[in-house]
Structure 1
């Protein structure tokens, strides 16, 4: 569903992304971890066609992002770290307006059903967004993804600032969307959330995807060890932990 092939981007002398190759099929969550400046946000901006790559290719549902940017954007929903919605509108009004921008025929019943699926309490639906917490705003954004039947969901630091209860609720919603066939790419610093949600976890450093871990047999402690090994150079506590890595393309080894 998301195919990234040999993608590179520089800003002057800063090589923000170096030959990134990544594939995310329908129904799977992939997380990218890394320190600030690792290339995670650049990857999202390239997927959204906010910036142009120096080389490489991205397709979303077999649509070339550079060649057909508007068509590719119709396939996805982007949830930034801070969900920017209309403060004076309530949840239903926000979703009605966003649906109208996409020229999508949407009934009030569909909007209400989407909000129910996110777990947003009915008592909050008619309150202005200015009174919402970050977790509540996210639920409105995810309700829009449900309404759009988005095939691709891009998430930027979605659990930043959430309490543990809100994080658990967020994880359940994303698991539901993946089960319905969405390809989901999440950029995060949250190792726990990545370990709970993802099929594959990539660790980036200085614009390079250093490793892509298969999360099926990986413990959270092992993920933490891999992360600090790559980011800080700390030694892995057990040499055989590398057996948990996914099969990597030769250029990533």
Structure 2
């Protein structure tokens, strides 16, 4: 049986693509000529310390920043040139998922799905998606102010699924989660992956990256130093190589 981390769609072009992507803040080069692709049904993790360029990379793909050079593309769409279209193709799960606290989980899902530009979805269908994602039925109509971080992330993933996002970007999603919640998140990401989405995740978690990703990129000071295939290395080996790069 094929490893689900290796799922791609034949010779289709990458869903997520950075081509010579750079970003400068004044004299500081935050990202230096990044070349990276993520295919449909593939998870790629970026490892690195704070300031490595991981979050900058994701913000460029989301259109929050403009590149100084190169291009960020989602489904072949240049993010800087066509930001609205690229946003319709993508979804974002930050470390802390922002929901409207006065709305319920289901109401948040309705609102953000409608914002995605694909039109309203039946409420029963959205409720089913939330339950499939793992939100308890008794939480569907509770105010999001009562939700834990893990529950908020489940709503975030439900939003990505309901919108039919081709690309999913995550920034430190396991930070602050207990082991059970982190395992739940990993299982959900595999479900999204099996649905054909391309997933790019920034993380400090070497072992979670090894578990989830087909490829792991190691970043330092804005540069991508190495890309490793996780099928070819164990977690201890990945950690050793990562620490070697961080000590140089």
Give me the TM-score of the superposition, normalised by structure 2. 0.92
Aligned to 1:178: 193
Conserved in 1, the CA contact under 8 Å of 2:215 and 2:230? Answer: yes
Counterpart Cα distance in 2 of 1:64 and 1:155: 20
Q: Deviation at 1:114?
A: 1.0
Cα RMSD over matched residues? 0.9
Correspondence 1:130-149 to 2 at 5 A: 130-149=145-164
Aligned to 2:113: 99
Conserved in 1, the CA contact under 8 Å of 2:47 and 2:218? Answer: yes
Secondary structure, aligned partner of 1:81: coil
Query: Number of paired residues?
Result: 233
* Equivalent of 1:202 in 202, 212, 217: 217
Counterpart Cα distance in 2 of 1:102 and 1:8: 28
Conserved in 1, the CA contact under 8 Å of 2:100 and 2:144? Answer: yes
Range that drifts further, 7-16 or 24-33: 7-16
Counterpart Cα distance in 2 of 1:102 and 1:179: 22
Counterpart Cα distance in 1 of 2:16 and 2:53: 17
Computing the radius of gyration over CA atoms, which structure comes out larger, 1 or 2?
Answer: 1
Correspondence 1:51-200 to 2 at 5 A: 51-103=65-117, 104-200=119-215
Counterpart Cα distance in 2 of 1:219 and 1:102: 39
Aligned to 2:4: none
Q: Deviation at 1:105?
A: 2.1
Counterpart Cα distance in 2 of 1:95 and 1:106: 10
Q: Deviation at 1:108?
A: 1.2
Conserved in 1, the CA contact under 8 Å of 2:110 and 2:120? Answer: no
Give me the TM-score of the superposition, normalised by structure 1. 0.90
Q: Does 1:50 align with 2:78?
A: no
Q: Deviation at 1:100?
A: 2.5
Structure 1 segments unaligned to the other structure (5+ residues): 234-253
Counterpart Cα distance in 1 of 2:154 and 2:142: 14
Structure 2 segments unaligned to the other structure (5+ residues): 1-14
